[in-house]
Chain A
């Protein structure tokens, strides 16, 4: 009960603040709708199906992009983390590409791949891969060799060391890579939908912007936040179960 209260408090405060700004007229009512107006718009858009469809389209894109990116980032990150010589050789390269904001690549991708689904998936793949690969290889590089030594003295074959020691030790890093990639992918997705898309939350915001539909813009922004929060929560729940053995600083 106390926990629910703690979690709810900042949200309630934000809504109160929002109302205060509206009532005192700090921002003109045409520029900023009230929370209840945004809520009403949210329900209206949900009822006519447009919002649900946009959320679905965006979530699907993020999901496909992140899964593809992480599926490639796991083995690549693992190899770079494991083999030090490979790291020396590839580290500058990866950092170079990682430093390029995926958003900056959008015009290039549009020219090469057009504005259809593949273009968006490619951008998201790029964003997820580089975010994930760094987390993976830094995590794997920190794995203590002692566990492998112990397993070998107990008679483990190389395959058994991999299956019974390295996989469990890598799991937490895979989960972190997933979470980081998801965050980056959401940011990138909305940017790419803002530039070129007919559907999706970014497109919803963009078209609402050109028609000056402030309430719709707010609905779009809030939906993005809710979806990101929801996905992260889901991943954390799965993670907490998979790595329940991990030592944490007690809460």
Chain B
């Protein structure tokens, strides 16, 4: 087996709070291989976002190390695209300018002559062509998230880190975004880490689901998802799919109950 591209090595993270240090991640070890689609599920407020921030380079481990191809991660980088729940599209730029933002930075090695081609490609892929010259204020939530994805894709990152990317969307938009994402990954090969509250979403999208414990976050279980790609919406009705979903949900609920008990005790 090839070496993991991203490696968490006994990572712990503590934050200083008014009532002393708060441990959010504890002794976390996980390798992410090229082409993996990893979903992380667990009780809310347990530090899943911190896992993403560690890879993105926004948070440094208190103990242990996170590496990318053996190199310690020390800050954000273009090879790791991030999609946030709150989209973060730049309201002062048009749809077009948003997509071009990453290309026009000094670090970008993409030649100006290719801008139009890249722009057209992602406008089309994300169904935003008719809004190219509009400001984001006219876009719906789903369209804003598609714009955020287009902007991240434009710089062609090898990794895609997604923190509850579809959490703010309604159910229909959410499933259409899931299928859109799966569709794009067939042509844009990427290694993905997705953090989600939805067990169904986790199973539907991922090649591997990582269940984490209530705070502090540790690995509880890693479950390989046996379904191949491409996947169709009808998979969600499959009995095998639903058995797997139920099993993961129970495991997460167990952790949730455990967390509630801990909360009661501390109160």
Q: Bound complex: CA of A168 vs CA of B136, how far in Å? A: 15
Q: How many residues of B contact A (CB 8 A)?
A: 29
Task: Write the B166-185 contact mask toward A (1 if CB under 8 angstroms, else 0).
Answer: 00000000000000000000
Docked complex: B61-80 residues within 8 A CB-CB of A: 75-78, 80
Contacts of B260 in A (CB 8 A): none
Minimum distance in angstroms from B17 CB to a CB of chain A: 16
CB-nearest residue of chain B to A150: B88
16 new A-B contacts, CB < 8 A, other than A153-B56, A160-B106, A247-B91, are: A146-B88, A149-B76, A150-B88, A150-B90, A150-B151, A152-B76, A153-B81, A153-B82, A154-B81, A154-B155, A155-B102, A155-B105, A155-B108, A245-B92, A245-B136, A246-B137
Contacts of B137 in A (CB 8 A): 245-247
Contacts A/B (CB < 8 Å), 23 sampled: A146-B84, A147-B88, A147-B90, A151-B101, A153-B56, A153-B77, A153-B82, A154-B102, A154-B151, A155-B77, A155-B102, A155-B105, A155-B107, A155-B108, A156-B105, A157-B106, A157-B107, A160-B105, A168-B92, A168-B93, A169-B92, A245-B135, A246-B91
Q: Bound complex: CA of A169 vs CA of B90, how far in Å? A: 9
Most B CB contacts (10 A, CB to CB) among A155, A246, A247 go to: A155
Minimum distance in angstroms from B109 CB to a CB of chain A: 10
Q: Bound complex: CA of A151 vs CA of B104, how far in Å? A: 11
Residue B227 lies at the interface, judged by CB distance under 8 Å to chain A: no
Q: Bound complex: CA of A160 vs CA of B92, how far in Å? A: 15
Contacts of A147 in B (CB 8 A): 88, 90
What residues of chain A have their CB less than 8 Å away from a CB belonging to chain B? 144, 146-147, 149-157, 160, 164-165, 168-169, 171, 243-247
Most B CB contacts (10 A, CB to CB) among A146, A150, A165 go to: A150
Minimum distance in angstroms from A158 CB to a CB of chain B: 11
Q: Judging by beta carbons under 8 Å apart, are A155 and B135 in contact?
A: no
Contacts of B15 in A (CB 8 A): none
Residue B229 lies at the interface, judged by CB distance under 8 Å to chain A: no
Task: Write the B137-165 contact mask toward A (1 if CB under 8 angstroms, else 0).
Answer: 10000000000100110010000000000
Minimum distance in angstroms from A200 CB to a CB of chain B: 39
CB-nearest residue of chain A to B103: A154
Residue B86 lies at the interface, judged by CB distance under 8 Å to chain A: yes
Most B CB contacts (10 A, CB to CB) among A146, A153, A244 go to: A153
Contacts of B80 in A (CB 8 A): 153
Q: Judging by beta carbons under 8 Å apart, are A244 and B135 in contact?
A: yes
Nearest first, the 8 closest Cβ-Cβ pairs linking A and B are: A154-B102, A155-B78, A155-B107, A168-B92, A152-B76, A150-B88, A146-B88, A153-B82
Q: Judging by beta carbons under 8 Å apart, are B91 and A153 in contact?
A: no
Q: Bound complex: CA of A39 vs CA of B127, how far in Å? A: 61
Contacts of A169 in B (CB 8 A): 92
Contacts of A154 in B (CB 8 A): 78, 81, 101-102, 105, 151-152, 155
Whether A150 contacts B84 in the complex (CB less than 8 A), given A155-B77, A244-B135, A245-B93, comes out as yes
Q: Judging by beta carbons under 8 Å apart, are B105 and A150 in contact?
A: no
Whether A146 contacts B86 in the complex (CB less than 8 A), given A151-B101, A154-B101, A247-B91, comes out as yes
CB-nearest residue of chain B to A243: B92
Q: Bound complex: CA of A247 vs CA of B139, how far in Å? A: 11
Minimum distance in angstroms from A154 CB to a CB of chain B: 4
Contacts of A168 in B (CB 8 A): 90, 92-93
Q: Bound complex: CA of A244 vs CA of B92, how far in Å? A: 8
Q: Bound complex: CA of A178 vs CA of B108, how far in Å? A: 37
Q: Bound complex: CA of A144 vs CA of B88, how far in Å? A: 9
Contacts of A165 in B (CB 8 A): 90
Q: Bound complex: CA of A66 vs CA of B176, how far in Å? A: 53
Whether A153 contacts B106 in the complex (CB less than 8 A), given A146-B84, A245-B92, A245-B137, comes out as no
Q: Bound complex: CA of A168 vs CA of B105, how far in Å? A: 16
Contacts of B93 in A (CB 8 A): 168, 245
Contacts of B82 in A (CB 8 A): 149-150, 153
Docked complex: B212-257 residues within 8 A CB-CB of A: none
Minimum distance in angstroms from A190 CB to a CB of chain B: 37
Contacts of B56 in A (CB 8 A): 149, 153
